[in-house]
């Protein structure tokens, strides 16, 4: 394998122990979790099943796969890129280099989006725009959890468009999700403007000056196009606001995931642009993360 793994038989237990120790020396922030993920990827067993098959030896083929996986993780490559998938709310998404990895914070955005859609979806179909869709996490989750939803998802990066299309198809949602290569909403059919119930987006939002301070596995592997939000982190958001106001129906709403230092300013910008009311929602770590903006004041109560 790598230095330290000799030719003797390696069981799942010994491979787990060695991988954890090796990644700890390589300063992996959570070497035990990484070892479990990599052995699970190598063997096809769930992380729970690893512990019920402790004494099963690894085949030569599995050892070769593990060797590659451990080397990639030791170089700080994100686990999600190595395994090729990530769990997101109630679905599993394919992920690959060149496209942003979905985060738990974005699950909070989806919760807010579904809460806004729920009253309408009980009576009729709903129309959603997902700008900067990336892997399609927001679009696929909304379509999966709200069968009445049709989603138009956009991204400027062809790699993201291809992956979002793939995820929609794998989840059987391709009939209700349209994915467009577009700079924000520019390629969305003009005939749809004014009829969207919801605009959702997790745009690039890291202030440029903060990019260098991100974890190595983020700044060295994930696309800067999906991270860099400009000088104050709000450049893409500012560009979205005029389009969102044109796209939404009179009772429509918008949800945006933004940097924790930008939410108050973003709320002011949304109200100045024409949204009647705004609300800031904290993420799972208690940080300001999601801006909810509604055209009708009563929706925000």
Q: CA–CA separation, 235 vs 132, rounded Å?
A: 13
Statement: the pTM of the whole predicted model exceeds 0.75: yes
Instruction: Tell me how far CA of residue 145 lies from CA of 75, 91, 113, 137, 177, in angstroms.
Output: 37, 10, 11, 12, 13
Three-state DSSP string of 91-106: EEEECCCCCCCCCHHH
What are 56-115's pLDDT values in tens digits? Answer: 999 999 999 999 999 999 999 999 999 999 999 999 999 999 999 999 999 999 999 999
How far apart CA 79 and CA 24 sit, in angstroms, is 15
Sign of CA dihedral 243, 245, 246, 248: positive
Q: How remote is the C-alpha of 263 from its chain's centroid?
A: 19
Q: Compute the distance between CA of residue 210 and CA of residue 227 in angstroms, rounded to an integer.
A: 10
Q: What is the pLDDT of residues 248-298, one digit of tens each?
A: 999 999 999 999 999 999 999 999 999 999 999 999 999 999 999 999 875
* Distances in whole angstroms, Cα of residue 138 to Cα of each of 96, 113, 199, 241, 250: 17, 9, 11, 19, 23
* Residue 232: half-sphere exposure toward Cβ, Cα within 13 Å: 10
149 pLDDT tier (thresholds 50, 70, 90): very high
Summarised one tens digit per residue, pLDDT across range 29-41 is 999 999 999 999 9
Q: Give one word for 27, left, alpha or beta, with left for phi > 0 and alpha for psi -120 to 50.
A: left
């Amino acid at each position: 394998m790598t230095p330290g793994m000799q030719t003797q038989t390696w069981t799942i237990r010994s491979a787990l122990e060695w991988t954890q120790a090796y990644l700890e020396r390589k300063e992996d922030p959570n070497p035990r979790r990484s070892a479990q993920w990599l052995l699970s990827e190598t063997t096809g067993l769930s992380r729970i099943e690893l512990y019920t098959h402790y004494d099963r030896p690894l085949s030569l083929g599995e050892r070769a796969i593990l060797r590659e996986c451990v080397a990639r993780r030791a170089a700080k490559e994100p686990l999600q890129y190595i395994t090729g998938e990530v769990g997101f709310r109630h679905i599993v998404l394919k992920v690959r280099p060149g496209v942003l990895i979905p985060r738990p914070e974005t699950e909070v955005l989806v919760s807010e989006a579904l809460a806004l859609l729920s009253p309408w979806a009980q009576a009729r179909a709903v129309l959603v725009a997902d700008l900067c869709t990336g892997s399609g996490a927001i679009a696929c989750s909304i379509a999966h959890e709200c069968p009445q939803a049709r989603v138009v998802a956009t991204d400027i990066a062809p790699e993201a468009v291809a992956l979002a299309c793939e995820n929609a198809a794998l989840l059987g949602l391709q009939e209700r999700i349209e994915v467009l290569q577009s700079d924000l909403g520019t390629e969305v059919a003009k005939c749809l403007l004014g009829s969207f119930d919801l605009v959702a987006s997790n745009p690039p939002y890291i202030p440029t000056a903060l990019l260098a301070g991100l974890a190595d596995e983020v700044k060295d592997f994930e696309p800067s196009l999906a991270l860099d939000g400009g000088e104050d982190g709000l450049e893409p958001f500012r560009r979205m606001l005029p389009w969102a106001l044109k796209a939404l129906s009179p009772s429509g709403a918008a949800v945006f995931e933004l940097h924790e230092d930008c939410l108050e300013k973003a709320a002011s910008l949304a109200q100045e642009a024409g949204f009647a009311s705004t609300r800031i929602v904290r993420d799972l770590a208690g940080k300001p993360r999601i801006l909810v903006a509604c055209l009708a004041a009563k929706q925000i109560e």
